[in-house]
Amino acid sequence: MPQSPQTYDFLEPSPHEGDLGMLGTYRILGEMGRGGMGYVFRVEDTVLERAVALKVMNRKIASTPNSRDRFLQEARAMAAVHHDNVVVIFEVGTHEGTPFMAMELLRGETLEAVNARKEPVDYERVINYARQICRGLAAAHAKGIVHRDIKPANIWVEEGTERIKILDFGLALAQSPAGDSTGVGSVCGTPGYLTPEQARSDPLDDRSDLYSLGVVLYEMCTGKLPTAQPAIAEQLVALLTRSPQPVRDLNPDIPQPLADLIEQLLAKEPGDRPANALTLEKQLQ
């Protein structure tokens, strides 16, 4: 359904017929998606004459200083990580009070969309994706950045190459004081991918992302979440008191070493998980 002009009242008119409008030097060609924080558009950078994706913050939310700061923190976090397995940020700025970030325009789909097709599990593909995610996480962790929301919707599978890109560092820093990348006592994230540390209000570190990666791999291998409760309070209790059903009970085609590694990632104590993303990447070889 076409969007009414009022939907994009933060855009200026475009001289090109069919465009949604302009934001600074960006021609807004179409909307790719939207969420609580704002919109993602397919745009043309008229200065460099290239297609990019533009994430634009909702004007009402942008009027709140804390929200605007979180948006800029996300952009800076993503821009700080230079790696093939993390989405590339080209520019961060504010145009007439509207914060935006320009990033590479990706072709393909999210891992969430891949999972939704319920195709037969190819464990070699699971390992391939896992190793790429590890490399992207290692690059972020080396910068002191904990993602905190690793889930299929935030993992992009590029069309043609199956290269993985980690997306959306916004929630990663949403509840952090400036300069604090660990976070204590905040329950932010998607319920099925929360960690035992969040249930205990413990500090989060690199191994928290590895737990969430374990959830992603468990879901890829079995079609189910290891722990799934209807309410967040019940989910937090289950994270501390229940153990997931073994991977091979649900899918005996998964090799035992891979199943064992996934179950190690889902250990309730961070110290029982692989030490870091690079160690995990080597274990997956």
Q: Which residues are catalytic?
A: 149
CA-CA distance, 142 to 135, in Å (whole number)?
Answer: 11
- CB burial class (10 A; 0-12, 13-18, 19+) of residue 179? exposed
The position carrying tokens 């649900």 is 250
Structure tokens at 128: 């391939």
CA distances for 83 relative to 120, 132, 222, angstroms: 30, 10, 29
CA-CA distance, 153 to 135, in Å (whole number)?
Answer: 18
Strand order in the sheet with 155-158: 108-110, 155-158, 164-166
CA-CA distance, 228 to 219, in Å (whole number)?
Answer: 11
Q: Are 42 and 29 in contact (CB under 8 A)?
A: yes
277 closest CA partner among 173, 140, 166: 140
Helices 206-222 & 123-142 angle (0-180, nearest 10): 170
Contacts of 233 (CB under 8 A, 6+ apart): none
Structure tokens at 71: 């948006």
Please give the DSSP secondary-structure letter assigned to residue 12: B
